[in-house]
Each structure stands twice: as structure tokens, then as C-alpha cells.
Amino acid sequence: MRLITPKIREIKAKDIADTVAQLCQRANLGLDEDVLTALKQAQQREESPLGKEILHQLVENARIAEDKNLPLCQDCGSAVIFLEVGQDAHVVGGELEAVVGEGVRQGYTQGYLRKSMVSQPFSERKNTGDNTPPIIHTEIVPGDHIRIVCLPKGAGSENMSRLAMLRPGDGREGIIDFVVRAVDEAGASPCPPLIIGLGIGATSEGAMLLAKKALLRPIGQPNPDPEIAALENELLSRINDLGIGPMGVGGSTTALAVHAEARPTHIACLPVAINFQCHCSRHKEARL
Amino acid sequence: MEAVPITMPLDRKTIKELTAGTPVLISGTIYTARDAAHKRLVEALKNREGLPFVLKGQTIYYTGPSPARPGRIIGSAGPTTSGRMDIYTPRLLAAGMKAMIGKGGRSREVREALQKYRAIYFIATGGAGALLAQSIKKAEVVAYDDLGPEAIRMLTVDNFPAIVADDIYGNDLFEQGKARYRKEKG
């Protein structure tokens, strides 16, 4: 058997740090076109006058943020970084996780972004001063590239996250009940209109990660599996029937989208994870 | 609905006139404080120590602004989730605080305390930090500088857009809004 030796591609650590720094700033300072379009469409549809005014403020906020080089929201988030590392890529000149942290430090400092990370979570809670450490999720994939996604995650929405280990017999209806109730209970706190990320299946931690990754999909792009897409649609309509409305003042726009991902699971399990995302839905990506 | 211009600190007459669901434009002086500053304020009250500013009659805005770029007054400065401050709020209302600005609903204890101490809870648009910062004309750290974004700042605001969420009569905007627009049986 002849072994094929793949060509290893070198990627400089400094390029990774610089890219992360840029992504942190770009994600915090500008609203994506898909989000802006979804907000404008919601503004047309919204039944409540107060809700309409809030949606108007959000569209205006995006314009001001861009004009004045200001973060969309003062909560510039925990820096959640997804790394897709090609198995034929070789990082030179630094340790991967350390350079990602360095990129976050630079991005948050140079961009005048708020630093929100505290050290020991339940006693000292001292601000680390540079928004490090980031939360890094690494996947090894075919190829010789590195894909970096930066998702600054605000706490208002993150705090509403939920996980249910349902019984397999609860099925589709059980998922709908759990999700609709969770959104109802979260009310105005996660900054509606929301993007709801759902992870269904796998294990408890697997479902949570799927839910977060589901937020990266362009707003309203359905899951390619028609059965999951139908579930997304039904959930979106049930959630918008709750009447919570923009910022909870009442109205027909409680969510802009539901993005669900499903994976195989154990014969005894039906994990369902919800990751709430606020209306800013910040994320940016690059490929090296 | 036309927004009502009001001035902070609030006077008794205005407090009586404000009802849940009324949009307002706030001008005057307000103070920022969020989680860590609340913890310190309530500890100071418990230990019978003086507060770092006169709280009586004043308004607290739940925000931790992003840093100001050189030459600017402030960075982004929208509201944070008020519910996290619920455990501290009745104590501060008892000490004379008259209004709060934040986002999201309040606990039953807070709503009862608002009626008891005749104070108002306003909401501003969460995630509109760049827009809201345009109404902030002056910002000065007055206490707990070591808390960084969580330090207490005295702000001068001009036509800062907000909505009355909880009034002194027990009305709640979130309950009213949901009842009006809910189609789901639940």
C-alpha cells in the first residue's frame, strides 16, 4: 500500500490573533444584513404601536452604531470562538488557544468594547480586564485551513438558556411544550425579538453546543431536513402567539427565527437544549 | 402615543401621573448601578455606613457602559436585565430611591415595594446602547471606580427614551401587553 503524504500547510499564529481581533470588533460594531432585513420586516408586521417603536429604535441603533463606531450593545459579550481546524493545517509561532486569547484581548481593547469576564465565578468575581478567557470550541475537519467564527454572547439572553432531558415518549409535542414554556417564562429578559437556537438529541452537553451553533445560521434559513423545518415553523408561530412582543411590551414579534438542529441520541434519551439569542445576533467569521 | 417629557429627579406630582405603558423622554440627572454596585450599596446600608451619593429621591439606571473612545462622553449604554437587581431593590426603595430604568420584568416583591414607597420602574430598549448613548450629555464616575464598567456614574441625560413599566398603582406593562396580544392558549 502506498501512503499518500498530504501536504501540510502552515498558518501563522499571529495571523490567527489578528483575525480574531478583527472579528471581535466587526461582530460588535455592525449588524448583519439578514438581521437588519428581519427587523425591518418585523417593523412592518408588528401590531403593537410600542412594539413598532422599539423595532424602529433597533434599526436606528444599527445605523448610529455604524456611523459613530459604537458597539451595538454595551454588553459586548463573552467571546465565544468556534475553530474549524483542517487536519492538514499546522499552526506555527504560538499555541493555538493562547493566540486566540491574545486576539480577543487585542480586539476588545483596541475596539473600546466592554470587558465583561470575571475570574472566579462565585466568590471573587474580579474583572479580568481584557475580556479573556474566550470560550473556544475546536473541531478537526478535512482540509488545510482554519475557519474562525466569533460570536460575542450577551448575558441577558445567555442567562435564559435551558436544558431538558425529555423522555423519548414526550416526542415532538414534548419539545414544543418545553420550548414554548421556556420562551414564555423568559419573557422580556432575553431582549426579544429573539433568535431561538435548539439542539435536539446527542447528550446533554452535545445538545447545548448544537443549540449555540444553530444561532450561526442566517436568520430564517430553514433546516434542510423538511421535518425539522416544519418543527421550526410551528415553534416560531406558537412563540409569536405568546404576545410577549419586542422587549416584552406586548406584540406579535417575540422571535425572528427558530433554528433547530437534530442529532442521533441514546435509546433512553431525548435531550432538548435552548440557547436564546437577542435581536442583535452578532457573529462574524473568516477563513485562513 | 406621544412621549411625555419628564425631569429627573422625579417630583411627587409626576410620579402620581405616570402610568404603565406611557412612553417618556427623560431629562436631568440619573445614576448608573448594576450587580456589583448594588451589592456594595446594600452592604453599606446594612452596616449603617454612608452611601457614596445621596440616593434619596434619585433614579438608578441599570447599565454598564462600554468604554468611551477618546474625546467621547461614553460608549454604548443600554439597559441590563433588571431582574438580577430584584433582591436588592426593596432595600434601596426603603432608603428613598424613587425610580429605576432597566429592561425586563420585576419580582412581585419589587412591584409591591414600588406601590409602598411610591416609586416608578421604567424600561428602555435593550440592545439599543448606541442609540441611547446619544441622549447622554455628561458622565462622571462618582463611586466604586475599581468596578470598571460597574462603577457608579452620575449621568446627565436629555430626552432619553423610556417607557413606564410599573407604576405606583400596581399596573404592569408586561402583563398588560401580553394579555392584549396573546393568541396562544398557553
What pLDDT score does A1 carry?
64
B96-119 average pLDDT score: 97
Q: Is B69 touching A (CB cutoff 8 A)?
A: yes
B123-171: per-residue pLDDT in tens?
Answer: 999 999 999 999 999 999 999 999 989 999 999 999 999 999 999 999 9
Q: Is A58 on the interface with B (CB under 8 A)?
A: yes
Q: Give the torsion sign (CA, A141, A143, A145, A151).
A: negative
Domain boundaries, chain B: 28-65+72-166+173-181
CA A239 to CA A248: how far, in whole Å? 13
pLDDT above 90 (res A220):
no
* Grid cell at residue A47: 401590531
pLDDT tens for each residue of A95-116: 999 999 999 999 999 999 999 9
Instruction: Say whether A187 and B21 touch across the interface (CB within 8 A).
Output: no
Burial B94-114 (b: 16+ CB within 10 A, else e): eeebbbbbbbbbbeeebbebb
The CATH fold assigned to B28-65+72-166+173-181 is: fumarase (3.20.130)
Query: How many CA atoms does the CB half-sphere of A212 hold within 13 Å?
Result: 23
Q: What is the ipTM of this complex?
A: 0.94
pTM of the model: 0.94
**A26-66 residue pLDDT tens:** 999 999 999 999 999 999 999 999 999 999 999 999 999 99
The tens digit of pLDDT for each residue in B44-81 reads: 999 999 899 999 999 999 999 999 999 999 999 999 99
Residues of B forming the active site: 38
- Report chain A residues whose CB lies below 8 A from the CB of B77: 74
Q: Do residue A54 and residue B68 have CB atoms under 8 angstroms apart? A: no
Of B65, B161, B178, the CB nearest to A243: B178
A119 contacts chain B (CB < 8 A): no
Interface test with B, best of A249, A253, A254 (most B CBs within 10 A): A249
User: B19 and chain A: CB distance < 8 Å anywhere?
Assistant: no
Ordered by start, the domain boundaries in chain A are 9-28+72-153, 156-280
Interface contact A177, partner B, CB < 8 A: no
Find which of B38, B74, B86, B181 to mutate to test the A interface (most A CBs within 10 Å of its CB). Answer: B181
Residue A165: per-residue pLDDT = 98
> pLDDT digit string (tens) for A56-73?
999 999 999 999 999 999
**Rounded Cα distance, B66 and A113, in Å:** 6
What does the mean pLDDT of chain A come to? Answer: 96
